Amino acid sequence: MSTRNRTPAALKPYLRLPSETSLILLTSTLSCTVNWLTPRFIIAAINGSGHGDHTDTQSVPGAREEGSTVILTSWMRNQAYWKTELRRITAGMDMDKVIATGKLAFVDCFTNLTQLAPEKALSEQESRITQAIAKANGAGRRIVLVLENPDILIALALTTTYDLSDFLLRLRNQVHSTVLVCNADLPLVAAATTSQEGMQNTPIEAETAAFLVQQAHAAQYVLGVRELETGAAKDVSGVLRVTRGGAAYSWDDEEDDVEEVKELEALYLIQRDGNAKVFERGTSMI
């Protein structure tokens, strides 16, 4: 499979199995979605990176090569979408087969989201995710939890920032590491920075901004994609920015073996066949 060839070299350090209990935050905007990056995280976690320089766990030798079990939970897209995307990016991976081998589990929180009773929605979804984790635990592989757009729960007023971060902590407690995908459009985060007098933020704006800032502080690193400031271009899809999250700083002092995350700002191009190219500003990509 040509999976590895299709992952841009500049991204590889970030796709390695993250350290235990860590959180990685992926943010996207309306016209620059992070959907090209999420499947690459999933594939890298399933396959295992196999890099020798990052084996910090002598207790479980070879675990890294084996890869992890990924539990993909999606609030914005259904399984058919992820099936298509994973096949497109890996040139032929069959999601159903991978699920059958137990390396991947899909929890659909999207299809029936608004049909649930509002007060029960969160607990119902939590129990389904917990069940998937419990089932995957039997296989003895490490578990990476991918949560795609749970912030819609705030938009639909099904939960509050407080309850949602509690929900996340409870889930993170059960898995090796977590990848969280959120929308970070300006209207959704502006409430965190601007405090215009007389301007009241709506609950969606205030709560989403609070949630995002909180998660960015808890994250080991944040990968954000956004539009070019100068407008759309033919040869650039958007800007990718990797910054250390709040958790990266607390780790540096305690453990030496945790690799430092390099901060990065680069441009990327997604081609029509799903191929991604990441390149520095100013360098032309061929």
Partner 1 sequence: MAFRKRNVAVGRGGTPDQSFGPEASILPPGIRPSSLTSQPVTSSGTPSLDDLLGGHGGIPLGSSLLIEESGTTDFAGALLRFHAAEGICQGQYVHVVGVGEAWVRELPGVIEETPSRAAAASKPIDDERMKIAWRYEKLGQAGERALPDRSAPSKSENQDQTSFCHVFDLTKRLSIPPDTKINYLPVRSLSKPFDGMVKSIHETLKSSPPHSTHRIVIPTILSPAIWPPSASLPTNFLAFLQSLRSLLSQYPTRLSAMMTLPLELHPRSSGLMRWAELLSDGVLELTPFPHLMDATNTASEIRTSKDTQEQPQGMLRVHKLPVTTERGEGGAGVGNSLGADLAFTVSRRKFIIKPCSLPPLEGDHDAQKEAGQITGKDIEF
Interface residue list for partner 1 (CB under 8 A) = 30-37, 76-78, 80-81, 84-85, 87-88, 91-92, 110-115, 118, 152, 155-157, 183, 185-188, 190-191, 201-205, 208, 225, 227-228, 231-238, 269-274, 276
Helix (H, G, I), strand (E, B) or coil at 268: strand
Q: Residue 149: left if φ>0, alpha if ψ -120 to 50, beta else—which one? A: left
CB of 33 to partner 1, least distance (A): 5
Q: Which is nearer to partner 1, 211 or 251 (CB)?
A: 211
Q: Classify residue 111 by its DSSP letter.
A: T
Q: Considering the complex, state which of residue 158 and residue 218 has its C-beta at the smaller distance from partner 1.
A: 158
Per-residue b/e over 227-261, b at no fewer than 16 CB within 10 Å? Answer: beeeeeeeebbbbbebbbbbbbeebeeeeeebeeb
Distance in Å, CB of 107 to partner 1, minimum: 15
Min CB(49)–partner 1 separation in Å? 22
**CA nearest to 189, candidates 159, 169, 215, 171:** 215
- Mention every residue, 6+ apart, whose C-beta is less than 8 A from residue 8: 268, 276, 277, 278
The nearer residue to partner 1, 121 or 145, going by C-beta atoms, is: 121
Largest Cα–Cα distance in the chain? 59
Nearer to partner 1, 156 or 264 (CB): 156
Between 190 and 264, CB nearer to partner 1:
190
* Least CB distance to partner 1 at residue 133 (A): 24
- The residue with tokens 């914005």 is 76
Question: To the nearest whole angstrom, how small is the minimum distance from the Cβ of residue 186 to partner 1?
Answer: 8
CB of 151 to partner 1, least distance (A): 9
Beta bridge partners of 173: none
Burial of 182: CB neighbours in 10 Å, binned 0-12, 13-18, 19+ = buried
Cα(7)–Cα(41) distance, rounded to whole angstroms?
Answer: 10
Identify which of residues 197 and 229 has a Cβ nearer to partner 1 in the complex.
229
Contact between 238 and 227 (Cβ < 8 Å): yes
For partner 1, which is the closer residue by CB, 258 or 269? 269
Compute the least distance from the CB of residue 82 to partner 1, in Å.
Answer: 11
- Residue 182's contacts (CB-CB under 8 Å, 6 or more residues apart) are 25, 26, 27, 28, 149, 150, 151, 211, 212, 215
